[in-house]
Amino acid sequence: MGLLRTMMPPRIQLLAVLAFGVAMLLIENQIQRLDESRAKLERTIARHEVAEVELRHTEDGGVRELAPLAENNDMVIIYNRVPKTASTSFTNIAYDLCGKNLFHVLHINTTKNNPVMSLQDQVRFVQNVTTWREMKPGFYHGHVAYLDFSKYGVKGKPMYINVVRDPIERLVSYYYFLRFGDDYRPGLRRRKQGDKKTFDECVSSGGSDCAPEKLWLQIPFFCGHHSECWNAGSKWALEQAKYNLVNEYLLVGVTEELEDFIMILEAALPRFFKGATELYRTGKRSHLRKTTEKKPPTKETIAKLQQSNIWKMENEFYEFALEQFQFVRAHAVREKDGELYVLAQSFFYEKIYPK
């Protein structure tokens, strides 16, 4: 072969090399097409096999799809709602859907809205949630700090969800709520009713209702029932709250993007939230509760609060929650023509054996 190559003119050698290269490219292209065809065939077969597994005949001879995993009637969701984060708006949706979607909604009403339970109440609550079969599937909501069910030796943990809000906006809303109430129960007298001092005036005069310590709420709600969680400015509490948010909560939304939060929940847990997005967009109850007589704080007031280490920690936690939510949303929905759409299922099963 070497002798033959030396006897061939250079031009012929070049053409031979080019012809060989083109032939190899054609062969590789054919192999790639065959691989793609094989993969497509495997996906088609896999979908057919999964469809056969998922379909069952009804008593009248018809065919229906099996209910999704979320149909599990032992499912429990706990929404340990932070005050003034649009929690009433979201909870109203659950109340509107519970009859249609066949689940129970239970309000956790603690004495004086104390978010920390006694040890004996912790045990009672855990036992109720895990063994109260008549209330399953259940949606529990209330202003209660996170409770780690794994500490109590029970089988099965509930799924936690929550919503957080910009810490200063949340505090301003709560400040005026205590003085003027809202349009949910306008006739109810609040404990600070009659106090006409604005939030700006409160901060300027160093009032207790607008002190930086009042910002310390979202971190302890996620941190839980440890004593250090309620030590304002605790770095340990901040890190524990972050850990729980990532590891113990199915989803944590933000008030400013509540509709996106509801949309993702409906896609992930249709057993509870089927129809929630449309209800939020068109319903009246979901937009009902608004604090009255609320005056936005000045830049000077905001700057003064932002000097506090407590604000810095609460804001760090809020930014952490916001980043995590936006990450989840980016992998769950897409925007088209100004509207958000939930992504369809992007995984499938194949090579299912035995046949």
Let me know: does 218 contact 164? Beta carbons within 8 Å.
Answer: yes
In this structure, how many other beta carbons lie within 10 angstroms of the beta carbon of residue 264? 23
Question: Is residue 277 included in any domain, yes or no?
Answer: yes
Burial pattern 87-118, b for ≥16 Cβ within 10 A else e, equals: bbbbbbbbebbbeebebebbebeeeeeebbbe
The identity of residue 303, as a single letter, is A
Question: Is residue 281 included in any domain, yes or no?
Answer: yes
Q: Is 31 helix (H, G, I), strand (E, B) or coil?
A: helix
Instruction: State yes or no: is 141 an active-site residue.
Output: yes
Which candidate in 104, 141, 225, 331 is catalytic? 141
Residue 307: the pLDDT is 97
The DSSP symbol for 182 reads B
Question: Is residue 26 included in any domain, yes or no?
Answer: no
Domain of residue 125: give its range: 76-336
Question: Is residue 4 included in any domain, yes or no?
Answer: no
Burial pattern 313-323, b for ≥16 Cβ within 10 A else e, equals: bbbebbebbbe
Residue 68: the pLDDT is 46
Q: Read off the tokens for 155.
A: 């089988």
Instruction: State yes or no: is 287 an active-site residue.
Output: no
Residue owning tokens 């109340």: 95
Distance between CA atoms of 148 and 22, rounded to whole angstroms?
65
Question: Is residue 156 included in any domain, yes or no?
Answer: yes
Residues in the chain: 355
Q: Is 40 exposed, middle or buried (0-12, 13-18, 19+ CB in 10 A)?
A: exposed
Which candidate in 57, 143, 225, 331 is catalytic? 143
Residue 108's CATH number = 3.40.50.300
Question: Is residue 317 included in any domain, yes or no?
Answer: yes
Q: Is the pLDDT of residue 51 over 50?
A: no
The rounded radius of gyration (Å) of the Cα atoms in the chain is 29
The identity of residue 248, as a single letter, is E
What's the whole-number mean pLDDT along residues 4-29? Answer: 70
Domains contained in the chain, number: 1
Q: Name the pLDDT band for 335 (thresholds 50, 70, 90).
A: confident
DSSP of 284-322, one letter per residue?
SGGG---BSS--PPPHHHHHHHTTSHHHHHHHHHHHHHH
Q: Read off the tokens for 53.
A: 């597994």
Q: Residues 61-90: pLDDT tens digits?
A: 433 333 444 456 899 999 999 999 999 999
Q: Name the pLDDT band for 21 (thresholds 50, 70, 90).
A: confident
Q: Shortest CA distance to 54 belongs to which of 65, 62, 45?
A: 65
Residue-averaged pLDDT of the chain: 85
Residue 159: strand pairing partners = 77
| Global model pTM greater than 0.75 | yes
Question: Is residue 215 included in any domain, yes or no?
Answer: yes
Question: Is residue 16 included in any domain, yes or no?
Answer: no
Q: How far apart are the first and last CA of the chain?
A: 53
Sign of CA dihedral 13, 19, 21, 27: negative
